[in-house]
C-alpha cells in the first residue's frame, strides 16, 4: 500500500511539474507574440500608410521584422521575450515600407 501511495505521489509531482513547464512555455510564446505585435504596431505608426489586416498584420510584421532585422543587423540591444528590440524594429520598418510599396503598386493597377 505504501509503494502504491508513493507511486501515485510521484506521478502527481511529475504531472504538476510538467504542467508548470508547459504553462511557462505557453506563457513565453504568448509574451513573445505580444512583444512582436507591439513592435509591428510601432513600425506601422512610423511608416506612412497602414499595414494590411490590422493587428494580425502588425503581429506578422513584428515577427518577420525581428527575423529580418536579426539577419541584417545581428542581435544587439535589449532583448524582451527573446526578441532583440532594435533589430526587430528596424526589420519591421523595412518590411512595412516594402508592404506599402507593393500595396500602392497593386492598388494603382486595380484602378
- 25/71: higher pLDDT: 71
Is 0.75 surpassed by the pTM of this model? no
Q: Are residues 86 and 74 in contact, defined by beta-carbon separation less than 8 angstroms?
A: no
pLDDT tens digits, one per residue of 22-57: 566 777 788 888 888 999 999 989 988 888 888 888
DSSP readout, 36-72?
HHHHHHHHHHHSSS--TTHHHHHHHHHHHHHHHHHHH
Amino acid at each position: 500500500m505504501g509503494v502504491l501511495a508513493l507511486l501515485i505521489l510521484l506521478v502527481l509531482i511529475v504531472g504538476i511539474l510538467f504542467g508548470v513547464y508547459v504553462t511557462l512555455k505557453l506563457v513565453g510564446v504568448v509574451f513573445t507574440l505580444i512583444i512582436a505585435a507591439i513592435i509591428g504596431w510601432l513600425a506601422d505608426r512610423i511608416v506612412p500608410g497602414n499595414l494590411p489586416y490590422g493587428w494580425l498584420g502588425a503581429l506578422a510584421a513584428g515577427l518577420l521584422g525581428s527575423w529580418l532585422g536579426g539577419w541584417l543587423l545581428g542581435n544587439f540591444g535589449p532583448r524582451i521575450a527573446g526578441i532583440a528590440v532594435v533589430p526587430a524594429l528596424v526589420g519591421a520598418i523595412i518590411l512595412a515600407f516594402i508592404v506599402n510599396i507593393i500595396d500602392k503598386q497593386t492598388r494603382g493597377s486595380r484602378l
